[in-house]
Amino acid sequence: MKAQQKPKSQNLTNNMAENSYQKAYSELQSIVAKMQNEEIGLDELGKEVKRAAELVKMCKEKLRDVEKEIELSLDA
């Protein structure tokens, strides 16, 4: 069975999702670096930890989606 080619609009959506992943990952790295360098004050720490948790969740979801796509492609 031949794998179906994705429409251009879906490729564009995938590129946007990848950009979103890259932005989320970069922001997460920035937060971690601030925490490691003790650049975040106590008042700001709670907010940054919540944001980091949101970013981790987003990245995990995207990685799961990509894993599923790869598995489907290999099974085709």
Span 57-74, average pLDDT = 92
Nearest to 44 by CA among 33, 57, 56, 34: 34
Span 3-10, average pLDDT = 49
How high is the pLDDT of residue 9? 45
4 has a pLDDT exceeding 60: no
Span 32-59, average pLDDT = 94
Span 52-75, average pLDDT = 92
Span 49-66, average pLDDT = 94
Domain ranges of the chain: 9-75
Tens of pLDDT along 31-44? 999 999 999 998 89
SS3 readout for the chain? CCCCCCCHHHHHHHHHHHHHHHHHHHHHHHHHHHHHCCCCCHHHHHHHHHHHHHHHHHHHHHHHHHHHHHHHHHHC
